[in-house]
């Protein structure tokens, strides 16, 4: 069975698809009402709102699929702002010809990941377009900012450490391997960062900024922080954690892990006096065992990001130019 | 200038597109921070959350465009729940080859409509996919439920009136005319229903249910209400407001306005004692001059929707079967 245009009509075929597939996996007190919008309890905490669309191809890959990614990506964006995710909305755009079994696996994975991340899907929408069996997912997330940290980009000081929560490049290397049909055991790092971050938000540990290291890679995220804060960031190439298999993959293809996309890694800018405590907490989590300090804020008067290379030289790193890898997330 | 895959890389080309196009029209205190999520003030009111994806083709049509539609659709869904829209997120999925001038017109229209609807775009995302110059937009909306009404589907009583806020079928007739290159003056009714609905939410006027009459048409919405509430709805064909030009268009093509999509019409189920007051308020609004009572709840014991035809017969109306019109919203 495949998706046909009638599944997007808003009539009986749409109703059946929603009943037999989406409701089967996503049912809850809010969605079951089938109203135009979900009415949720008020909140004493500041609200956090974010959105992300997912257009990754292939739809399933080692370590995840577009459904898992669509939960993790949005949930992680809320956690990066120090907010606890609670409610998500989802928009599915299905291409004609999409196999129903594939869609069902993705929706199941989406539902399972939502459950693990302790978020409820409270509103949804399905559309069908012409195409070739593809699938796009948009999620928007609402969370509550209960923690005082992160303190914000304006609190960055000289000497602050830049900590990365693990090895870089696995997501992109996995997607590229699959597209190029290269056999290896590299898996996407696609993960919900919530449990790890929740532990950092306790006790006001002087975390200034958190950012997940997705599209554009570490180089792009560092440049965004340095540009907005007008500061100089210096990192050490030898400190950047990379899995040996990803490292080989990058060497063969001439890729730089600094520019590669991840889906389960983040960086934080933290006050020097708390860096050891934060590193210890990160390393305790299974997702953070390879956490490392990779550099520091060295100057508050000018925007530049540099890396000290393994050979002892120093070069400027800019944001990603050109194409990157299309449809990586 | 056209969209290329590099605009979706997350690197410099993406940054430039965001700066020169999206920020130009959508800048505000939340978006300007370029954080992973927007942090918003807490709320004493219950929250309302909704989402919709828009895949309409053509992207521009008489009476609107996909940008205007993407605001109105989501804002209207919040109003239907009795909630005041306040914050929106947006996900743009751009197809390679999309003309930048067209995208700019759409983004400008999106921004203008958001301003008129008094909502702020607080988070956004842009992706690029292969394709043929198309564009999909997802919006999610967060609102605050300040009003006591609507009372909910469980409050429906025998004798309640069904009021429709204006003529049916204009949106679908306009899109079909454009696709078939039929010259006429039919325009989409695409509109923000907020100002009209806000006036109805005051003074606890006994409104039970509000629904916007979009994909699937009036027949589908009536069936949803009758099914969930387990009631009988009887409407009169001669009471259903249809513009003369849309009526001719439907007669020629054998279409039924009951099944046609609208983007600026809603129905409400209201207590008999308030129906005149509600009708008066609706008619005062430029968008509601053709408001009419089209039928009633006649039985609380079984789910069925019937229409009394112009010839005096009575037939059952079911939800839309089959294709409807693809990519109508």
- CATH at B66: 3.30.1330.10
Q: ipTM surpassing 0.90, yes or no?
A: yes
Mean residue pLDDT of chain A comes to 95
Mean local confidence (pLDDT), B218-238: 96
The model's confidence at residue A204, banded by pLDDT at 50, 70 and 90, is confident
The model's confidence at residue B15, banded by pLDDT at 50, 70 and 90, is confident
Q: Are strands A135-144 and A207-212 parallel, antiparallel or unpaired?
A: unpaired
Find the farthest-apart pair of alpha carbons in chain A and give their distance in angstroms, rounded. Answer: 67
Task: Write down the pLDDT at residue B279.
Answer: 97
Kindly determine whether residue B215 and residue A10, on different chains, have CB atoms separated by under 8 Å: yes
| One domain, residues A206 and A245 | yes
The A residues from 250 to 289 touching B (CB cutoff 8 Å) are: 259, 261
| One domain, residues B214 and B111 | no
CA dihedral A150, A151, A157, A159 (to 10 degrees): -30
Task: Write down the pLDDT at residue B324.
Answer: 76
Tokens 């978006």 — which residue?
A: B31
Question: Cβ(A199)–Cβ(B23) under 8 Å?
Answer: no
Question: Cβ(B322)–Cβ(A11) under 8 Å?
Answer: yes
Question: Cβ(B160)–Cβ(B296) under 8 Å?
Answer: yes
CA A80/CA A214 separation, integer angstroms: 12
Mean residue pLDDT of chain B comes to 95
Task: Write down the pLDDT at residue A156.
Answer: 97
**Domain membership flag for residue A95:** yes
For chain B, what is the total number of helices (H) and then of strands (E)? 9, 14
The model's confidence at residue B21, banded by pLDDT at 50, 70 and 90, is very high
| One domain, residues B36 and B173 | no
| One domain, residues A22 and A135 | yes
The B residues from 172 to 231 touching A (CB cutoff 8 Å) are: 211-212, 214-217, 220, 224, 228
Task: Write down the pLDDT at residue B319.
Answer: 84
Tell whether the model's pLDDT for residue A159 goes beyond 90: yes
Mean local confidence (pLDDT), B282-305: 98
Facing B140 at nearest CB: one of A40, A51, A259: A51
Task: Write down the pLDDT at residue B65.
Answer: 98
| One domain, residues A180 and A291 | yes
What is the tens place of the pLDDT at every residue in A55-67?
999 999 999 999 9
Mean local confidence (pLDDT), B284-308: 97
Q: What is the chain B residue with the closest CA to A229? A: B33
| One domain, residues B253 and B283 | yes
**Domain membership flag for residue B66:** yes
CB pairs under 8 A between A and B: 272
Half-sphere exposure of A311 (CA within 13 A, CB side): 3
A50 touches chain B (CB under 8 A): yes
Better pLDDT: A36 or A165 = A165
Chain A contact probe: residue of B37, B81, B90 with most A CBs at under 10 A: B37
**Domain membership flag for residue A98:** yes
Tell whether the model's pLDDT for residue B255 goes beyond 90: yes
| Residues of A with Cβ-Cβ distance to B220 under 8 angstroms | 10-11
CA B148/CA A41 separation, integer angstroms: 14
| One domain, residues B114 and B228 | no
Burial of A304 (0-12, 13-18, 19+ CB in 10 A): middle
Better pLDDT: A97 or B215 = A97
B19 touches chain A (CB under 8 A): no
A180's CB contacts (< 8 A; 6+ apart) are none
**How close does chain A come to B158, measured CA to CA in Å?**
21
CA B26/CA B107 separation, integer angstroms: 8
**How close does chain B come to A89, measured CA to CA in Å?**
6
| Residues of B with Cβ-Cβ distance to A325 under 8 angstroms | 9
Which of A4-13, A73-82, B89-98, B273-282 is the least confident region?
A4-13
Q: From residue B13, how far is each of A319, A324, B105, B171 by CA, in Å? A: 10, 10, 20, 36
| One domain, residues B282 and B301 | yes
Kindly determine whether residue B93 and residue A53, on different chains, have CB atoms separated by under 8 Å: yes
The A residues from 84 to 113 touching B (CB cutoff 8 Å) are: 87, 89-93
**Domain membership flag for residue A325:** no
State residue A170 phi and psi, 5-degree precision: -60, -40
**How close does chain A come to B325, measured CA to CA in Å?**
7
What is the tens place of the pLDDT at every residue in A287-308?
999 999 999 999 999 999 999 9
The model's confidence at residue A274, banded by pLDDT at 50, 70 and 90, is very high
Token pair recorded at residue B206: 């006994």
Task: Write down the pLDDT at residue A326.
Answer: 87
B34 touches chain A (CB under 8 A): yes
**How close does chain B come to A298, measured CA to CA in Å?**
22
**How close does chain A come to B60, measured CA to CA in Å?**
17
Closest C-alpha to A88, from B74, B54, B50:
B50
- Which of these three, B110, B144, B178, is where a domain ends? B144
What is the tens place of the pLDDT at every residue in A114-141?
999 999 999 999 999 999 999 999 999 9
Kindly determine whether residue A80 and residue B261, on different chains, have CB atoms separated by under 8 Å: no
Better pLDDT: A68 or A16 = A68
**How close does chain A come to B313, measured CA to CA in Å?**
25
What is the tens place of the pLDDT at every residue in B64-114?
999 999 999 999 999 999 999 999 999 999 999 999 999 999 999 999 999
Structural domain for B198, as ranges: 153-316
What is the tens place of the pLDDT at every residue in A109-118?
999 999 999 9
Helix (H, G, I), strand (E, B) or coil at A226: helix
**Domain membership flag for residue A109:** yes
Number of folded domains that form chain B: 2
Tell whether the model's pLDDT for residue A209 goes beyond 80: yes
Mean local confidence (pLDDT), A97-103: 98
Chain B contact probe: residue of A4, A18, A39 with most B CBs at under 10 A: A39
**Domain membership flag for residue A60:** yes
Mean local confidence (pLDDT), A321-325: 74
Q: What is the chain A residue with the closest CA to B229? A: A33
Question: Cβ(B242)–Cβ(B234) under 8 Å?
Answer: no
**Domain membership flag for residue A51:** yes
Tell whether the model's pLDDT for residue B277 goes beyond 90: yes
The proportion of chain B whose per-residue pLDDT surpasses 70, expressed as a percent, equals 99
Facing A321 at nearest CB: one of B8, B12, B129: B12
Kindly determine whether residue A34 and residue B228, on different chains, have CB atoms separated by under 8 Å: yes
Task: Write down the pLDDT at residue A212.
Answer: 96
Tell whether the model's pLDDT for residue A325 goes beyond 90: no
Q: Which CATH number goes with the domain that contains A207?
A: 3.90.650.10
Tell whether the model's pLDDT for residue A33 goes beyond 90: no
| One domain, residues A170 and A305 | yes
What is the tens place of the pLDDT at every residue in A215-244?
899 999 999 999 999 999 999 999 999 999
| Residues of B with Cβ-Cβ distance to A259 under 8 angstroms | 11
The B residues from 127 to 146 touching A (CB cutoff 8 Å) are: 127-130, 136, 138, 140-143, 145
Kindly determine whether residue A49 and residue B87, on different chains, have CB atoms separated by under 8 Å: yes
Kindly determine whether residue A47 and residue B142, on different chains, have CB atoms separated by under 8 Å: yes
Tell whether the model's pLDDT for residue B304 goes beyond 90: yes
Task: Write down the pLDDT at residue B86.
Answer: 98
Token pair recorded at residue A242: 């990379």
For chain A, what is the total number of helices (H) and then of strands (E)? 9, 14
């Amino acid at each position: 069975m495949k998706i046909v245009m009638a599944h997007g009509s808003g009539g009986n075929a749409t109703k059946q698809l929603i009943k037999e597939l989406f409701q089967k996996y996503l049912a809850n007190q809010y969605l079951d009402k089938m109203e135009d919008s979900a009415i949720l309890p008020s909140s004493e905490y500041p609200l956090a709102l974010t959105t992300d669309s997912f257009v990754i191809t292939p739809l399933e890959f080692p370590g995840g699929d577009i459904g898992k990614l669509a939960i993790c990506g949005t949930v992680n964006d809320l956690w990066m702002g120090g907010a606890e995710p609670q409610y998500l909305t989802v928009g599915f755009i299905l291409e004609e010809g999409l196999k129903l079994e594939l869609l069902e696996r993705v929706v199941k994975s989406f539902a399972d990941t939502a459950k693990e991340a302790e978020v409820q899907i409270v509103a949804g929408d399905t559309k069908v377009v012409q195409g070739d069996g593809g699938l796009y997912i948009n999620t928007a997330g609402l969370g509550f900012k209960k923690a005082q940290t992160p303190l914000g980009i304006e609190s960055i000081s000289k000497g602050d450490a830049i900590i990365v929560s693990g090895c870089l490049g696995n997501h992109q290397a996995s997607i590229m391997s699959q597209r190029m049909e290269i056999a290896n055991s590299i898996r996407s790092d696609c993960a919900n960062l919530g449990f790890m971050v929740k532990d950092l938000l306790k006790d006001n540990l002087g975390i200034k900024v958190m950012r997940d290291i997705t599209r554009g890679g570490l180089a792009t995220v560092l440049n965004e922080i340095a540009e907005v804060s007008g500061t100089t960031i210096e990192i050490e190439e030898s400190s950047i954690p990379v899995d040996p298999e990803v490292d080989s993959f990058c060497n063969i293809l001439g890729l730089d892990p600094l520019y590669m996309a991840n889906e389960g890694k983040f960086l934080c800018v933290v006050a020097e006096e708390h860096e050891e405590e934060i590193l210890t907490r990160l390393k305790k989590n299974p997702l953070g065992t390879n956490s490392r300090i990779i550099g520091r804020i060295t100057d508050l008067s000018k925007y530049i990001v540099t890396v000290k290379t393994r050979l002892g030289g120093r070069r400027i790193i800019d944001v990603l130019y050109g194409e990157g890898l299309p449809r990586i997330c």
